[in-house]
Amino acid sequence: MKKKICKKPKLVIFIISLVIVLSLVQLTISYWLATTGEKMRQWEEKTTLLEQQNKILSEEINRLGSLARVNEEARSLGLVKATNVLYLTPQIPVALETKKLPEAR
């Protein structure tokens, strides 16, 4: 009879310890999941924001890069078209040395 009483507390302690350990594990995992989920949400938000800003910037580049706008801007700054273009080409000499002459001895 005594022996039976002695065995029960060990089992109870084991079960209670197991429950406590598993609860802690579950708590840790839940915490980890919750914080990772929140981090993911923040990253997703950041990605969406960056994508949107990227889109806005691309649209702005397209608008500002238009030749019609650049031309208008250049005119308003007082720039004018080159009307008299002068090409500087090297003059071809009258006689070209194509073969080395034999040296005089």
Partner 1 sequence: MFSNWRINFLLVFFILGGFLVIGRLFFWQVLSFDELTAMAEGQHWISFEIPAQRGEILASDGSPLASNEEAFLVFASLPDIKDDYNELAAKLAPILEPENVATMASLIKERLSRQDLVWVPLKHKVSRQGKSQIEGLKLSGIGFEEEQSRSYPEGSSSAQLLGFVGNDVNGHEKGYFGLEGYYDLELKGRPGMLQREKDAAGKPILVGEIKKEKERQGRTLVTTIDRTVQFIINEKLKEGLARYGAVSGTVVVMEPKTGAILGMASLPNYDPGKFFAYDKSLYSNPAVALSYEPGSTFKVLVMSAALNEEVVKPETRCDKCTGPRTISNYTLKTWNEKYFPNSTMIEVIQHSDNVGMVFVGERLGAEKMYSYLQKFDLGQPTGIDLEDEASPKLRPRNEWKLIDLATASFGQGIALTPIQMIRVVVAIANGGKLMKPYLVKQVISEGEKTEIQPKIEREVLKPTTTSIMTEMMVNAVDNGESKWAKPKGYRIAGKTGTAQIPVAGHYDEEKTIASFVGFAPADDPQFVMLVLLREPTSSPWGAETAAPLWFDIAKEIFTYYGIQPG
Interface region with partner 1, contact rule CB under 8 A, candidates 15-23, 42-50, 85-93, 97-105? 85-93
Helices (H), 65-97: 67-76
Does 54 participate in binding partner 1 (rule CB under 8 A)? Answer: no
Q: Which of 1, 5, 80, 82 binds partner 1 (CB under 8 A)?
A: 82
Cα–Cα distance measured from residue 22 to residue 64, given in angstroms and rounded to the nearest whole number: 62
61 token code pair: 């580049």
Q: Check if the beta carbon of residue 69 is closer than 8 Å to that of residue 63.
A: yes
Cα–Cα distance measured from residue 8 to residue 15, given in angstroms and rounded to the nearest whole number: 11
Compute the least distance from the CB of residue 51 to partner 1, in Å: 10
Does 66 participate in binding partner 1 (rule CB under 8 A)? Answer: yes
Q: Which residues bind partner 1 (CB under 8 A)?
A: 52, 55-56, 58-59, 62-63, 65-68, 71, 82, 85, 87, 89
